[in-house]
Structure formats: structure tokens, C-alpha cells
Amino acid sequence: MRLCSSNVPNFNRSKEEEFFCGLTTTAPKIKTYFILSSQLDYTLPFESQKEHKFQQKTIVNENNFVRTNNFTWAQQCKRGLRVHVNSEDNNTYKCFCPPAYYGNTCEYQNQRVSITIQIRAIAYWQTMFSIVLLLINNNDQTIESYAKIEFISIQDCGIKYHINLLYSTRPKDESRNYSIRIDVFDRHSMEYRGSWDYPIVFPFLPVNRMAIILVIPAHQLQSTCNTLNCGSHGQCLLFMNSDRSFCKCNDGWSGKGCMIAGSSKFHCAPNSLSVGTNRDRPICVCPLGKFGSRCYLKHPSCPDNMCKNGGTCIVRDERMPSWKPICICMESYSGTNCATKDTKIDISFEKLPIPSAILFHFITAHGDKPESRVTSFKKIAVDQMSTTIYISTMFHLIFVEFF
């Protein structure tokens, strides 16, 4: 007698029989999540999918085989990169180590703060920000090390950045307290937007890890204070994420109480900002179109008429994978060159209470996998009788939620 001889459910089976009946080599039926018609002609047959998966698996195995052959010599540099150095006297190999490691073969770990940060700027989709991360020695307010991120929400939303900030000495001075400070600047207007403070609560650890979600507020919120003496070259401000205070130094000044003047030998280019000093060199925030450690280098100009319909051309940091010029489009246009007209949706509040805000939920059906959703938020003025929203992605259904 066969336990699983019929496709009809058998409610008299025991739990053990149900378990064994579930062990089958039959192909699972493709589940349809969402369809707008009864036809599924675009769905690949199971055999084709199975063959495609088998081909992909074969390619992966070949790549692994190549890596295995090269593993012996690559292992000498541990987590670094082995390079060949050719000179007149000697031919040798050297190891290029990542920031987290050092040594002849990258065999030692640096004491550091390892940061994973995700940035959100909901109200500023088309604004480029400069995010400066500083490892601060709290005893004398000196900067141990720093890193900079260029962020524009319309392209970088959802990206997680992984950054290592090293101490200035090896090993670090364990008698001192350290913290992470994050400063945000608008690269269009070069305005300061705020600072966030993240103390290092376990300074005895060789490696401290932080996971940060940085939310740039819709409005510039700066709370002044009088708890610190910042002299004539700084201002006492509160951090955005706590009630702790700090001295926000003027351009070209740094240190405790903003008493240390910037170097007369090294300085930032005109129209840029100096936000501190590290190893007697200024930390500079560059305006749009400039880059480099002191903002003296110019990005190549954008091609003529690259951005259509009033779009703005911006050149990204050359260290980024997508450093080529990009277009920031005006509302109602999208695409690489802002040449695509977005779908326009008009909402009227006639005979309806005027909401204070609206959420637009755009649902896209994919047929053979779960549907996706894009949500847009819009505030409504008190006397506003209608509103308009533009959407660049394809959708099948829209739900409007009033608040």
C-alpha cells in the first residue's frame, strides 16, 4: 500500500506519514502571486529554468577552480593584495594592505573603529551632501582620523557605507576617551546642516563596531548653548542626537575651545570649507565641481546639453564606481538625460476634508514573484484644494492614504 498514491488530501494520515509524503523530488508548482489576466505565456517552462540554473552553477564551479589554483601565492599577503615591484637592483613582491591591517604580509590588525552607516535625506532627494566622519580625541578635541562621503539621495538611497577610522598611534592611548562625530554640509550652498555624536562606550576593545542610520532632517535645526567656552572663533552648539554640547569652530580653526589656527602653509581652496585639522593638514569640504584633499582640482566639465528639460549636471567623486556625470532632473522628468516625461497624477479634494498629508502607494505586479511597492509622501497646505504627483516607475495599482 502506497502512502502518497493520490493527489487528494488524506486526513487519516499520521504525522509521520505526512512528513514522508512531503519528501518528494517532483518539481514544485510555480506560484503566481499577482496577475491581471489568465494568461501566463511569458513564464518560462520548468525545464528551461532548470537548465539555466545548471549552466549558472557550472560557471560558478569554474570560477572557484581558478581561485583554488591561485590561492597558494595569494595567501602570502593574508587579506592584502600582492604586487610585483620591479627595480634595477631587485625584483620582489610587496603587500598592499587594507586600512584594517598592517605588516609585511598584512598579518596584524589595526586598532580602529569600524562603522557601517546608512544615510537618509527624505526631504532632499536632489541635494548633494558632504558627510564628514571624525574620530575625536575627547581630551584635547584633536582629530585622530577622518573619512568623507558624498551622498545624493536620489542615487545613493539604501547604500550602506563601510568605513574604518584608525587611531593616530599604534597602539592607541587607552588613557584617553574617544568618540565619533559626524558633520553634514550642503555642497550646493556650502551650508552647515548639523553634527551627530556617537561615543565609544567600550574603549578597551581593539576594534569597536558601530551601525548608524543617519537621518538628515527636513529643516535646519541648530540649538545653541552656553555650557562651553568656545572663544571668539567658535560657537557652542548641541548635537542633533543628544543634549551634549560641543564647540563648532569657524572656518580655519580647530582644537579645544577653537584655539588652534589652521596651518599657514596648507589651506583649503577659495569657496571651500575647512572643518578641522589632521596631521597638520586641513580637512576640506569642496563645493560642486571641485575635488581633492584641498579642493584645488576641478572636475571635467559636463558635456553640452547633456541634461534635458532643465536638469542639472553633477560630476561625482572620481573614487566612486559611477563617477561619470549624472543628471539631477526637474520634477516631472526622469531618465539618464532627463528626457523621459513622468506619469502625472492629479488629486482633487472637492467635497472632501483637506488632509494634512498624503501617502501614495504604487503597486507593481510581477506575476511570478511578489508584487513591489513604492510609497511617496506629500504634505498638503491648509487652503490647497488639489495636488499633483509625478511617478517615473511603472505601476498597476495606486492607493491614496489621507492623514
Query: DSSP assignment of 45-61, as one string?
Result: PHHHHHHHHHHHHHHHH
User: Which residue in 144, 157, 146, 150 sits closest to 129, CA to CA?
Assistant: 150
Q: Which residues pair with 183 in a beta bridge?
A: 132, 195
- Answer whether residue 174 is part of any domain: yes
Q: Quick one: which H or E segment has residue 72?
A: helix 46-74
- Answer whether residue 337 is part of any domain: no
User: Are residues 219 and 365 part of one domain?
Assistant: no
User: Are residues 302 and 195 part of one domain?
Assistant: yes
User: Are residues 94 and 240 part of one domain?
Assistant: no
Whole-number Cα distances in Å, 192 to 147, 181, 221, 281 = 17, 14, 10, 21
Let me know: does 120 contact 216? Beta carbons within 8 Å.
yes
pLDDT of residue 65: 33
SS3 166: strand
Cell of 248: 563648532
pLDDT of residue 54: 37
> Which of 88, 108, 128 is a domain's end point?
108
Q: CA 292, 296, 298 angle in degrees (round to 5)?
A: 80
User: Are residues 98 and 158 part of one domain?
Assistant: no
Euclidean distance between CA atoms 187 and 312, whole angstroms? 14
Low pLDDT (below 50) residues in the chain: 38-73
User: Are residues 177 and 246 part of one domain?
Assistant: yes
**First-to-last CA distance in the chain?**
62
User: Are residues 168 and 232 part of one domain?
Assistant: yes
**Residue type present at position 366:** H
Whole-number Cα distances in Å, 199 to 46, 127, 167, 169 = 54, 29, 15, 19
pLDDT of residue 53: 41
Euclidean distance between CA atoms 169 and 111, whole angstroms? 9
Euclidean distance between CA atoms 275 and 249, whole angstroms? 8
User: Are residues 266 and 163 part of one domain?
Assistant: yes
**Residue type present at position 20:** F
Half-sphere exposure of 394 (CA within 13 A, CB side): 4
Distance of CA 188 to the CA centre of its chain: 19
Q: Quick one: which H or E segment has residue 20?
A: helix 15-22
- Answer whether residue 215 is part of any domain: yes
User: Are residues 225 and 139 part of one domain?
Assistant: yes
In terms of Cβ atoms closer than 10 Å to its own Cβ (0-12, 13-18, 19+), residue 278 is middle
Let me know: does 335 contact 329? Beta carbons within 8 Å.
yes
Q: Is the peptide bond before 353 cis (omega within 30 degrees of 0)?
A: no
Cell of 2: 502506497
User: Are residues 64 and 36 part of one domain?
Assistant: no
SS3 154: helix
- Answer whether residue 229 is part of any domain: yes
- C-alpha torsion sign, points 238, 242, 246, 248: negative
Cell of 355: 488632509
Cell of 54: 545548471
User: Are residues 159 and 297 part of one domain?
Assistant: yes
Query: CA torsion angle for 340, 346, 347, 348 (degrees, to 10)?
Result: 170
pLDDT of residue 368: 80
pLDDT of residue 300: 77
Number of domains composing the chain: 3
User: Are residues 203 and 66 part of one domain?
Assistant: no
- Answer whether residue 402 is part of any domain: yes
- Answer whether residue 336 is part of any domain: no
- C-alpha torsion sign, points 121, 184, 178, 246: negative
Q: Quick one: which H or E segment has residue 340?
A: strand 340-341
SS3 288: coil
Euclidean distance between CA atoms 204 and 174, whole angstroms? 7
- Answer whether residue 232 is part of any domain: yes
Q: What is the reported pTM?
A: 0.73
> Which of 78, 108, 138 is a domain's end point?
108
pLDDT of residue 12: 62
What is the domain extent for residue 121?
Answer: 109-314
User: Are residues 223 and 365 part of one domain?
Assistant: no
pLDDT of residue 25: 53
- Answer whether residue 4 is part of any domain: no
> Which of 314, 330, 352 is a domain's end point?
314
